[in-house]
Chain A
Amino acid sequence: MKLARRKVLQLIGLLGAPSVFLLVFFCGPLLTMLVYSFLTPGIYGGVDWVFSHLNYGRILGWADTRYEKFDPVFLGIFLRSLRLAGLTVVTSLLVSYPAAFWISRMSPGRRDFAIFLVTLPFFVSLIVRLFAWVLILRPTGFLNQGLMGIGITSDPIEFLYSDFAVILGMTYVFIPFMFLPLYGSIEKLDIAQLEASSDLGATRVQTFWKVVLPATMPGIIGGSIITFIPSLGNFIVPSVLGGAKVLMIGNLIEQQFLSARNWPFGSALAMMVMAAVLLLLVVQLRLARRGDA
């Protein structure tokens, strides 16, 4: 018994600090948002402590008052955000997967340098990097001038302020998030297994589908999730590269907290994003468990 108690104390000692940290800085704000999402907006921001279910009613369909009306546009924005975040995951995966393979086959010195290069963009402010993309993508920008210079197009192509620009921008921003977990699982790949597969008569394609892909699946899933979550809530990329016309759920939430001074509705929208992310994690957990069995 004495030993058990000591173990408990040890556990408390080890887990106490992080638990308190999470409780205060993660659960605390989350709980605040949950409570706020059921209140009435204060006139000058903040909340009035009067219960209201209309913040959800506006999104899901039952509100109809002077200020709170149901509008399918909110669900539309939500679906669009899911689609754009999903596409961002796919494009970052398509870029990062071969790159991770290539880098994992380099000599150690060059490999470290390549990984350093992947994380290099983090050294410059995101806003500055996104404005650089504006200069590249705009009608008189470098990309269009290049394309017109070599005669591919005679008129500038509309790259900027489109879904394309937003997906490109988010892919650019989140590639390191996708790359690092992928690299982790690809680097661990045992060459001997690939050789065995080919010795046993598998073609390269078969080897990829039956050996490489399953072995790197944890990296793919991990990378996809940590790319998807921040993409879903992103608001800087759509406002700079989408011209605030490609409205994503993050922009809508930002608008509620700042210019529209409707914190409860912003909280309700944020809760919807949370619910979507939680659902995704549950599905992923289920899939992972089935994979183990």
Chain B
Amino acid sequence: MKKTALRASLALIAPLALTPLAATAEGTLSLYNWGDYINPAVLNKFTEETGIEVTLDTYGSNEEMLAKIQAGATGYDIVFPSVHMHDIMYQLGLLAKTDIGSAAGFENIDPQFVRAKTDPDAEYCLPYAWGNVGIVYNKELAGGITGWEDFFALGKEGKKITLLDDLRETIGVGLIMGGNSVNSTDPAEVEAAADYIVSNLDGVTAFTYDSVPQVISGDVAAAHWYVGANLFVSENPETIGYIIPKEGATMYQEDICVLESAPNKENAIKFMEFYLQPEIAALNVEQQMNGTPNIPAQELIPAEIVSNETIYPDQETMGKLQIFEDLGRDLQLYNSEWTRIKTAQ
């Protein structure tokens, strides 16, 4: 997920309708999304075309969103869970059937992105966007970096590096380096992954999401971060770069889902159908700089984005990207190891 400097806990309500009074006649649509995870122009266009007034609330993590919905927050129509959260929400009966998989235009979607095990025919949710989690680095301090080994070597040289403050992502790096699945539930593998991170903590100055400004300023040589770093790379091409580590990396994908409790189900489905249009998916990528599963949309995306190997990697690199699955109770194995990592100095 793309996180912003101030993370998204500063929940923001943005009334995006152009002409609220005229629009109310067509009803409303209420989105609950990650912070900065949709191009506002997409929402404006939706309102323009349909007259439906859109409101947007934001969250900072899957768990935060789930906790709110479980606690009975109503009034939201659409949420954007990661694939494993899509599965959880399906099992908890929180999602509404939309039959988006048989809607006109669904043939635009690359079938490899219909990932949720509980929703193999996309009867519930629409694949929204995806990206990988790699390394953003300062060219002067960490030029020539190719993967995790180089990354941790920087730390041993006395330069500063940061890891994400996320237990799955950071232990995931250790699992990748041990040649294991990032969804391992073998206590020995998880422990070995944590040991790998602990033995490489030299130079890890912080576990944080707010690392890009420090990479740009040179306070940090390289940071574990999201593909969204390309946005900052395009603004500072001389200073920083982004790579997918050669040893492998994790990837994420979010889906557009309609809640069972949605007050405006019809409008929500209209939004999904609207988002199936290649022009709209492309409009979103233009600002978000992430991957879209919409194949014809890739023709419409600015060349510098679609030709960027870190945003649209080749199939070989794609094969090295692992996506998180829900671990159920076994998440607790990671929980204990995570505390050990954070207290090892």
Q: A residues within 8 Å of B by Cβ?
A: 41, 43-46, 66-69, 71, 73-74, 76-77, 125, 127-128, 131, 134, 138-141, 160-161, 239-240, 242-245, 247, 252, 255-256, 258-262
Contacts and interface: CB of A to CB of B under 8 A. Distances in A.
B74 interface: no
B210 to A, nearest CB: 8
Nearest to B345: A245
A71 B10 contact: no
B217 A138 contact: yes
Interface stretch (B200-208, B237-245, B276-284): B200-208
A58 to B, nearest CB: 8
Question: Which of B66, B162, B205 has the most A CB atoms < 10 Å from its CB?
Answer: B205
A161 B343 contact: no
Please give me the 6 A-B residue pairs with the lowest Cβ-Cβ distance, nearest first. Answer: A243-B206, A67-B332, A260-B335, A244-B207, A244-B165, A161-B206
B338 interface: yes
Nearest to B218: A140
A43 B67 CA distance: 13
A46 B329 contact: no
A227 B206 CA distance: 26
Nearest to B332: A67
Given A244-B208, A245-B206, A259 B61 contact: yes
Nearest to A247: B342
Contacts of B218: 140
A139 B207 contact: no
Contact of B66 (A44, A71, A240): A44
Question: Which of A240, A243, A262 has the most B CB atoms < 10 Å from its CB?
Answer: A243
B230 to A, nearest CB: 23
B6 A260 contact: no
Given A44-B70, A67-B333, 11 more contacts: A44-B66, A45-B66, A46-B70, A68-B332, A138-B219, A243-B162, A244-B165, A247-B342, A259-B166, A260-B332, A262-B335
B339 A127 contact: no
Contact of B343 (A66, A77, A125): A77
Nearest to A243: B206
B336 A71 contact: yes
B207 to A, nearest CB: 4
Contacts of B331: 260-261
Classify the interface of chain B: helix, strand, loop or mixed: helix
Interface residues of B, number: 43
A87 B334 CA distance: 32
16 contacts: A41-B329, A43-B328, A45-B70, A66-B333, A67-B329, A77-B343, A139-B219, A140-B217, A160-B205, A243-B205, A244-B206, A244-B342, A245-B205, A245-B206, A247-B342, A259-B61
A243 B92 CA distance: 35
Given A44-B66, A243-B206, A260 B167 contact: yes
Given A140-B219, A244-B342, A259 B167 contact: yes
A131 B338 contact: no
Question: Which of A127, A141, A247 has the most B CB atoms < 10 Å from its CB?
Answer: A247
Nearest to B340: A73
Nearest to B201: A245
Nearest to A46: B70
Interface of B: 5-6, 9-10, 61, 63-64, 66-67, 70, 88, 92, 160, 162, 165-168, 187, 204-208, 210, 214, 217-219, 328-329, 331-336, 338-340, 342-343, 345
A259 B64 CA distance: 9
Contacts of B214: 138
Classify the interface of chain A: helix, strand, loop or mixed: loop
B343 A76 contact: yes
A125 B63 CA distance: 24
A252 B162 CA distance: 20
Question: Which of A44, A46, A68, A139 has the most B CB atoms < 10 Å from its CB?
Answer: A44
A148 B10 CA distance: 36
A8 to B, nearest CB: 40
Contacts of B343: 73, 76-77, 247
Contacts of A160: 205-206
Contacts of B208: 239, 243-244
A261 B205 CA distance: 26
Contacts of A242: 206
B290 to A, nearest CB: 22
A66 B185 CA distance: 11
A242 B205 CA distance: 9
Contacts of B187: 66
A252 B339 contact: yes
A220 B9 CA distance: 35
A134 B208 CA distance: 12
Nearest to A67: B332
B284 to A, nearest CB: 27
A140 B167 CA distance: 29
Nearest to B206: A243
A258 B61 contact: yes
A260 B342 CA distance: 14
Question: Which of B6, B61, B208 has the most A CB atoms < 10 Å from its CB?
Answer: B208
A139 B182 CA distance: 34
Contact of A161 (B9, B205, B339): B205
Contacts of A68: 332
B1 to A, nearest CB: 13
Nearest to A44: B88
A114 to B, nearest CB: 31
A138 B205 CA distance: 11
Contacts of A67: 329, 332-333, 336
A262 B329 CA distance: 9
Contact of B338 (A45, A140, A245, A255): A255
